[in-house]
């Protein structure tokens, strides 16, 4: 016997919006009761199998993994009342520098914006340098650097895990053309490097390092495992059958 009690939702009276909220609440409650019933049946079957096998002690209830993300989404979608509160602080700091001579004018403007809340801190930096040349043959130039440092909550996985860490990104422009744009992320699990297309090109995690390409001046290792080794125009390859061939 399970503790399931199925009743039809009360839909008489009220507006269409109120009736819809009652149906949502009814479906959520029904899903909870069905899950409880399935868990109870599973525990009874496990206990019965242990008794038939001659076990003297009662079987321990099976520990099912909790699908946190699915339950969270179900609660939020069916919620009739939601509350959200978060304090936030913003700060803007600026700096200026100017130098003039017979050769031209140099200007620099720097800025930092800090935004902090209960989930993390975001720092945005801007460094704008302008060079106005007064010398014939020398062109004027504008260089701009934009950088961001984020600490705290960086992302959430599909399973509902919260990922905390530090993320540092930088973009450099010269006369309006992007010359450099990359960022790095450090978490308790791994250190990752991303290119300008947001592709993870290298990371270090669980005593392992992965890179898409590497230039190494010197290697010292107790052992090395490779599928192929190129020396000049020749390549040593390890075949699927375990034989080594030279090409």
For residues 110-144, b (16+ Cβ closer than 10 Å) or e, as one string? Answer: eebeeebeeebebbbeebeeebeeeeeeeeeeeeb
* HEC readout, 104-173: EEEEEEEEEEEEEECCEEEEEEEEEEEEEECCCCCCCEEEEEEEEEEEEEEEECCCCCEEEEEEEEEEEE
pLDDT in tens, the chain (247 residues): 444 455 666 666 677 777 777 777 777 777 776 776 666 666 666 666 555 555 445 555 566 666 777 787 778 877 777 788 889 999 999 999 999 999 999 999 999 999 999 999 999 999 999 999 888 877 889 999 999 999 999 998 888 889 999 999 999 999 999 999 999 999 999 999 999 999 999 999 998 888 888 888 888 878 777 777 777 788 878 777 777 787 7
In 3D space, the residue among 72, 112, 71, 74 whose CA is nearest the CA of residue 92 turns out to be 112
Is this prediction's pTM over 0.85? no
> How far is Cα 201 from Cα 193, in angstroms, rounded to an integer?
6
């Amino acid at each position: 016997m399970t503790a399931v009690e199925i009743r039809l939702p009360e839909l008489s009276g009220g507006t269409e919006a109120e009736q819809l909220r009652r149906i949502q609440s009814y479906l959520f409650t029904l899903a909870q009761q069905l899950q409880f019933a399935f868990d109870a049946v599973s525990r009874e079957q496990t206990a019965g199998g242990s008794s038939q096998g001659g076990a003297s002690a009662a079987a321990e209830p099976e520990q099912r993994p909790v699908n946190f993300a699915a339950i969270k989404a179900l609660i939020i979608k069916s919620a009739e009342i939601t509350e959200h509160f978060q304090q936030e602080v913003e700060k803007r700091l600026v700096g200026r520098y100017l130098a003039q001579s017979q050769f031209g004018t140099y200007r620099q403007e720097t800025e930092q914006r800090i935004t902090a809340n209960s989930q993390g801190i975001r720092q945005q930096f801007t460094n704008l340098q302008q060079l106005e040349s007064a010398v014939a043959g020398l062109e004027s130039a504008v260089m701009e650097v934009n950088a961001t440092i984020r600490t705290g909550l960086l992302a959430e996985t599909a399973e509902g895990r919260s990922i905390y860490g530090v993320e540092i990104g930088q973009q450099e422009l010269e006369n309006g053309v992007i010359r450099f744009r990359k960022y790095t992320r450090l978490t308790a699990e791994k250190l990752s490097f991303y290119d300008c297309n947001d592709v993870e090109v290298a990371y270090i995690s669980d005593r392992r390092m992965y890179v898409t390409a590497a230039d190494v001046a010197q290697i010292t290792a107790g052992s090395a495992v490779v599928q192929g080794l190129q020396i000049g125009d020749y390549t040593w390859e390890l075949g699927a059958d375990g034989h080594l061939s030279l090409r």
